[in-house]
Amino acid sequence: MSAFLQNAWYMAAWSSELADGILARQLLNSPMVFWRCQDGSVAAIDDRCPHRFAPLSRGTKLGDTIQCGYHGLIFDASGSCVRNPHGRRPQGNVRAYPCFEQDNMIWFWAGEPARANPALIPRFPLNTDVRYRFVSGHSRVAAHYELVTDNLLDLSHTAHIHPAFGGADWEAKQTLVCKGQTVHSVYVIKSFPIPAFFKAMVTPAFASQVNEWDDLRWNAPATMYLFTEFGAADADRKTALWVPSAHVLTPETAASTHYFWASGVGRESSLSDEVHRQFLVKAFEQEDMPMIEAVQKSMGGSELTSLRPILLPADRAAMRARQILSRLIAEEQGTGPASQLGVEKPSVPD
């Protein structure tokens, strides 16, 4: 399996997970600790004290700093030791990570701090739209994050493992749209029996047959936004309802993934937050996850293309995303072809 892209923003948590406390989380193989400073900004440093390597997340937040719970060294948001209660001058530093919070999400930059530009973080504007009620969650998947991306970019599996979202009647016409390094996996499903999820959103049911339009946007390394519209099969698309959802993946290790998900319905929807959450947990944790984890085991840690998979038309978006990501990683590691590194070719006549 490939290395992780370093110069990239990764989602660390939902804002609600951190609140005012301390959050410990393993991300990209590194144990990290997050806390909120007094000005509201988020700090993140390695979760390992340089003295006897106690997890700093077992310590205490003191203003804008964190105090190790073992022998009391204090570290600030830059990772510098700012106080040593044992009388000597402060000693030792830990690695700090640039953080940024927007759209109810906390992101960290895994690479060179000088290159951390928050304008590069894909936006999720509807996450904070007051016309929607969102439910969100965090699931841990025992599989490489690209296998989870594959699952999301190829929604044809809906016909086989998600009965409440379409089941066997979900016959999608898929289109791949690439805009620069952004991949859109676009689906149109015409005139199929209203699935249980849509039925629960509007009571009494407004139609027995519905149309659905999905635009699933992918940005490297694994940030996805699914914009779903659905409406009565015999009505104008302008009357369709919107269901925006976020699907953001951050590697925990090479074989496990943090899956941050959220889904919104109109504030007036008949779907309660509790039932909405039950639909999603069932789909993600009881239907998707067991299959993806079984695939991970079946592949035995091998890289996908090395196993020479049969590719189906519905794989196009996932394979495009994999190509872009592997090119970005190769460029970062200096192993990509020169033409991809922006190096000018010498002009040698044919």
Binding site for ligand FES (CB under 6 A): 49, 51-52, 54, 68, 70-73
Q: Which is nearer to Fe ion, 57 or 149 (CB)?
A: 149
Q: How far is the CB of 105 from Fe ion (least distance, A)?
A: 21
Consecutive H or E run containing 246: strand 241-253
Is 264 in contact with 243 (CB distance < 8 Å)?
A: yes
Which of Fe ion, ligand FES, none sits in contact with 71, Cβ below 5 to 8 A by type?
Answer: ligand FES
* Nearest to Fe ion of 46, 288 (CB atom): 288
What sign results for the dihedral spanned by CA atoms 43, 48, 54, 55?
A: positive
Task: Name the DSSP letter for residue 55.
Answer: -
Closest distance of CB 68 from ligand FES, Å: 3
How many other C-beta atoms lie within 10 A of the C-beta of residue 328? 19
Exposed, middle or buried: residue 130 (CB in 10 Å: 0-12, 13-18, 19+)?
exposed
Helix (H, G, I), strand (E, B) or coil at 229: strand
Q: Which is nearer to Fe ion, 44 or 249 (CB)?
A: 249
Minimum CB distance to Fe ion, residue 181 (Å):
24
The residue (of 71 and 267) whose beta carbon lies closer to ligand FES is 71
Strands (E), 19-130: 22-27, 30-36, 42-46, 60-62, 65-67, 74-75, 81-83, 99-102, 105-109
Provide, rounded to whole angstroms, the least separation between the CB of residue 213 and ligand FES.
54
User: CA–CA separation, 7 vs 1, rounded Å?
Assistant: 18
Q: Is 320 helix (H, G, I), strand (E, B) or coil?
A: helix
CB of residue 38 to ligand FES, shortest distance in Å? 23
Q: Which does 115 bind (CB under 5 to 8 A by kind): ligand FES, Fe ion, none?
A: none
User: For residues 13 and 56, which CB has a smaller minimum distance to ligand FES in the complex?
Assistant: 56
Q: Give the nearest residue (CB) to Fe ion.
A: 288
Site for Fe ion (CB under 5 A): which residue of 212, 252, 288, 315?
288
Size of the site for Fe ion (CB under 5 A): 1
* Helices 289-299 and 145-153, packing angle to 10 deg: 130
With CB under 5 A as the contact rule, which of the stretches 51-59, 253-261, 281-289, 312-320 interacts with Fe ion? 281-289
282, 164 contact by CB (below 8 A): yes
Q: Which of ligand FES, Fe ion, none sits in contact with 288, Cβ below 5 to 8 A by type?
A: Fe ion
142 is in the binding site of which of ligand FES, Fe ion, none (Cβ under 5 to 8 A by kind)?
Answer: none
**Contact set with Fe ion (CB under 5 A):** 288
